[in-house]
Amino acid sequence: MTQRDIGGPAQPLLRVEKLLKHFPTKGGLGKRRVVRAVDGIDFVVRKGETLGVVGESGCGKSTTARLLMQLIQQDSGELVFDAMAVGGHQLPLREYRRQVQMVFQDSYSSLNPRLTMEQAVAFGPSVHGVSQREALQRARDLLGRVGLEPTRFAGRYAHELSGGQRQRVNIARALAVEPRLVILDEAVSALDKSVEAQVLNLLLDLKASLQLTYVFISHDLHVVRYLSDRIMVMYLGEIVEVGPTQALFSAAQHPYTQALLTSMPSMDPGNRTRVSPLSGDPPSPIDPPPGCRFHTRCPHAEAVCAQAAPQLTTTGDHHYAACLMVQPGAGHSQSPPAGLIYTGASA
C-alpha cells in the first residue's frame, strides 16, 4: 500500500542539508539573543542502517530529532527523504510523517492517560484512513509483536504498565503506521538496565524483520555502540565527528570524541579512568565560542583554534571529523600539510 524504495539502495534514506534552528531567548528588551540549538548541520541516514547520535545534554540532539520529525520548523535547511524533498508535492508533510516515526524518552508522558493501549496504538493508522476495526486489529498484532500479550494489555491504561512495558507500547505505536525510518530519542535512557537490554534486543529484532532504519539518539555510549552502524557526535549544535562505529571507537579523531570515550565507565574494573577528561559544563549555546566551539575545553587548543572554524574533513573510510588538527593546512601545529582538501563533504 505504501510507496516503498524509490531511489534504490545507494540513495540515502534521509539527506539533511544545512539544517539550522535558533530559538529566541525570552527576557530583556533590546538585546535579541538566540540559542543556536542546531547550527547548520549536514548528514545522511543510509537505508537500513542505525545511525547513533551522541553528545552531552544541550548539544542539539533532541532538537535535531524534533526537526527530523518536523515537529518544529527549521529556520533554514532542507530534508530530502529517498530523493524527495520533504514538504514538496512529491512528499507532503502528512505522507512524510507516515514514513518517519519517533519514540520519545518519557514513556509515561508520551502515552495519553485516557486511552487504552490498543486505542493509543490504533490512533496513527486511523488518522491515515484505516478503518477502526482494522486499526484495532493491527494494534493488537503489534502489541503481540513487541512482547505484550494482547488479551492482557490491549484494554489497559498507561498508569497500569511498567516503564519497560510502556516503552514497548510506544514502539508499537510508532510502528503502527508502517514507517521506514524510526527516530529513537533517548528511548531507553529512562529504563532500568535489565529492561533496557530487553528493549534494545526487541529494537534489533524489529529492525531486521521489518527492514527499518533507525536514528538512535542517546547520551549512553555503550548503548549506542551496541546498536549503531555509524555514530555521529554533536557538540553545541554542530557535528564534530561522524564515522563507522568500529572506526570511531578504535580511532577517534576529534579531541571531544576522545574525551567522551575516555569518560565512558569501562566494563573492566582494572581499566577505569580516575580523572574526568572533560571538565566543567559546555559553554552556553547562546554565545558559543568563536572558531572551534570546543577550544575552551580542548587539551590541544592553540591560538588558531579560537579564530578558524574547522570543517568536516575526511580522515578515513566514511570517517569525518571537524578539527583543525586533521584539516590539511589549517594552521594548527598538528595539521597535516595542505593538499587535497575534502571540505564541506556530506558525512
Partner 1 sequence: MNLSMLRPAAPAIAPVERSPGYWGEVFNRVCRDPIALAVAAVILALLALAVLGPWAVPGDPFTTSMFKRLKPIGTEGFPLGTDELGRDMLSRLMLGTRLSLFMGITPVVFAFFIGGAIGVVAGYFGGWLNSLIMRTVDVFYAFPSVLLAIAFSGALGAGVNNALISLTLVFVPQVARIAESVTTQVRNRDYIEAARASGAGAFTIIRSQVLGNVLGPIFVFTTGLISVSMILASGLSFLGLGVTPPEPEWGLMLNTLRTAIYTQPWVSALPGAMIFITSISFNVLADRLRAAMAVRS
Binding site for partner 1 (CB under 8 A): 1-2, 66, 69, 71, 93-95, 97-98, 100-102, 104, 106, 109-116, 118, 120, 123-124, 127-128, 133-134, 136-138, 140-142, 145, 150-157, 159-160, 170, 173, 175, 177-178, 209-211
Phi, psi of 164 (to 5 degrees): -65, -40
Q: Which CB, 109 or 246, lies closer to partner 1?
A: 109
Phi, psi of 130 (to 5 degrees): -75, 140
Q: Which CB, 115 or 301, lies closer to partner 1?
A: 115
Please state the length of the chain: 347
Q: Which CB, 100 or 242, lies closer to partner 1?
A: 100
Q: How far is the CB of 337 from partner 1 (least distance, A)?
A: 48
Q: How far is the CB of 166 from partner 1 (least distance, A)?
A: 11
Listed in sequence order, the DSSP H helices in 218-254 are 221-227, 245-250
Q: Which CB, 185 or 238, lies closer to partner 1?
A: 185
And the C-alpha cell for 127? 488518522
Q: How far is the CB of 284 from partner 1 (least distance, A)?
A: 24
Which amino acid is located at 260 in the chain?
Answer: L
- Beta bridge partners of residue 100, listed in sequence order: 181
Q: How far is the CB of 292 from partner 1 (least distance, A)?
A: 34
Q: Residue 83, class by beta-carbon neighbours within 10 Å (0-12 exposed, 13-18 middle, 19+ buried)?
A: middle
Q: How far is the CB of 110 from partner 1 (least distance, A)?
A: 4
Query: Taking the CB of residue 254, how many other CB atoms lie within 10 A of it?
Result: 27
Q: Which CB, 19 or 187, lies closer to partner 1?
A: 187
Contact 46, 78 (CB under 8 A): no
Which amino acid is located at 148 in the chain?
Answer: L
